[in-house]
Structure 1
Amino acid sequence: MHSSTFLVVLDADSTLIRDEVIELLAEEAGRRAEVADATEAAMRGEVDFAESLRRRVAALAGVPTTAFERVVDRIEPTPGVREFIDEIHARGGIAAVVSGGFHEVLDIVAPALGVDRWRANRLEQRDGVLTGEVSGEIVDAAAKAASLRSWAHDLEIPLTATLAIGDGANDLDMMAAAGLGVAFNAKPAVRMKADVVIGRVDLREAIALLP
């Protein structure tokens, strides 16, 4: 296997895809508005992400697991995402995604978009319905940064040859750990701290940043 030269780690919701998956799931429970407000506060960095995620997932209690299929059908990939990932591969890089969202959706969406590796939260299920709990450790800002570091280590890629692309406050640690931190479609606090800001919602804009 020829060794990869660089690593790009993207956030999922509002970066890899246009949607906030938790809001689509909450819609299945008729609770989209309250969950959307809580997501917005978390992305602006006004509340603790893990605590906020637990509260938002609690609103999903009782949603049948069949909802995942409907949600996946509604997901819109971000414009330019396929071209961006194709270009990463053409240049010998690895495309990874780390998300405060959910494996249940990312396991379908990520490979379909050509993503090489991914990590997200898991939703606890019992008897075909969601319990309203997160299963296992929560993927928060620290976990995102740790994922980037550990993938770079496994792939023997120096951190200087890593890019992190995200939109929310929980992406800031990962962006700081990477060689280049890119704010994409991002909240003001994230744009302020990023190395590069991409305003247009088109991932082709990030191709110029690839090694």
Structure 2
Amino acid sequence: MSHVLTLIAPPGRLSSAILARVRDALSALGADLGAPDWLAEAEALDLPFSHLNPEQAVAAARAALQAEPVDAIAQPAEGRRKLLLIADMDSTIVTSETLDELAAYAGLKDRVAEITRRSMNGKLDFAAALRERVAMLKGLSVDALEATWKQTHLMPGARALVRTMSAHGAHCALASGGFTFFTGRVAELCGFQSHHSNTLLDDGRTLSGTVAEPVFDRDAKLATLTRLAAEKGLPLSATIAVGDGANDLAMIGAAGLGVAYRAKPVVANAARARVDHADLRALLYAQGYRASDIAAD
């Protein structure tokens, strides 16, 4: 079979009855179907198919799934395993927006979060919005950085994703519009081999209200993807990128498998693959990893 449709759900939520509905939907469009291959019991499976393009397969699967908490990703069967992961950090690898949480210590969380929301939905220029938000934090004690870090939590499946791909020879990199203070710690905690982000400037005691130039933005994320792929001699088809905000769209669009993870509408609507229900291990199942292959989270 030329293509594969991967169905992924929270543990225990994927059933044979759901599979049957999806099979019927694809068959009705003229697809040839292979035998389903369960990657994780009641959680993830592959359904090989031919004579249907991936977009049609996903649309049919989503219509058949209706309100079921099941994600569907379709792609060519060949070349699913990727050797380079580029991941956004805020609201992707960690559960929060670290800049918004940092702003809480200046009593400005709501104001900063509104700017973040508009920026991540593509309503504002990212670099200008970042400079505006950082300027509002001028004079904030650098102690707030450590306090924010203590309240930062990994997204479920983050460590499993990075550790599993690394164990199978992939380079895993963070590419974040956030700050090195956080990306360095997240990289160490998860096992990312490199991290790329912005530098928040301070005088040793308080934040200066500025960020080092040039701002690490949408274009920089794409440039990081293409540079790392070139350095490692990989075609872009051997890469996977994941993120949730508008500044992730360029790298998601360029990667061999670009995934919108619990993403803003502008990203979810544009990405070829999206994960709305499962945790980050979904990116492993999409590459054909089995539950027995996946490292502890």
The one-letter amino acid paired with 1:174 is: M
In structure 2, C-alpha distance between the alignment counterparts of 1:142 and 1:150, rounded to whole Å: 12
Deviating runs (4+, > 6 A) in structure 1?
none
Please point out which of 83, 93, 96 is paired with 1:16. 93
Q: Does 1:79 align with 2:146?
A: no
Q: Following TM superposition, by how much is the alpha carbon of 1:192 offset from its aligned partner in structure 2, in angstroms?
A: 1.1
The gaps in structure 1 that reach 5 residues or longer are: none
Question: What is the number of equivalent residue pairs in this alignment?
Answer: 208
Q: Following superposition of structure 1 onto structure 2, how do residues 1-211 of structure 1 map, counting pairs within 5 Å?
A: 6-200=83-277, 202-210=279-287
The one-letter amino acid paired with 2:148 is: V
Q: Is the 8 A contact 1:184 1:201 kept in 2?
A: no
User: Which of the pair has more CA radius of gyration?
Assistant: 2
Q: Is the 8 A contact 1:79 1:201 kept in 2?
A: no
In structure 2, C-alpha distance between the alignment counterparts of 1:53 and 1:140, rounded to whole Å: 9
Q: CA RMSD in A?
A: 1.4
CA deviations over 1:91-147 (Å, ceiling 9, x no partner): 211111100000011112211111111100001111411011111210111011001
The one-letter amino acid paired with 2:184 is: D
Q: Is the 8 A contact 2:260 2:268 kept in 1?
A: yes
Structure 2-normalised TM-score?
0.68
Which has more helix, going by share of residues? 1
Moved more, 56-65 or 10-19: 56-65
In structure 1, C-alpha distance between the alignment counterparts of 2:236 and 2:211, rounded to whole Å: 30
In structure 2, C-alpha distance between the alignment counterparts of 1:111 and 1:138, rounded to whole Å: 23
Q: Following TM superposition, by how much is the alpha carbon of 1:201 offset from its aligned partner in structure 2, in angstroms?
A: 5.4
In structure 1, C-alpha distance between the alignment counterparts of 2:135 and 2:126, rounded to whole Å: 14
CA deviations over 1:174-206 (Å, ceiling 9, x no partner): 111211110001011111111111002510111
In structure 2, C-alpha distance between the alignment counterparts of 1:142 and 1:148, rounded to whole Å: 10
Structure 1-normalised TM-score?
0.95
In structure 1, C-alpha distance between the alignment counterparts of 2:227 and 2:280, rounded to whole Å: 24
In structure 2, C-alpha distance between the alignment counterparts of 1:86 and 1:104, rounded to whole Å: 22
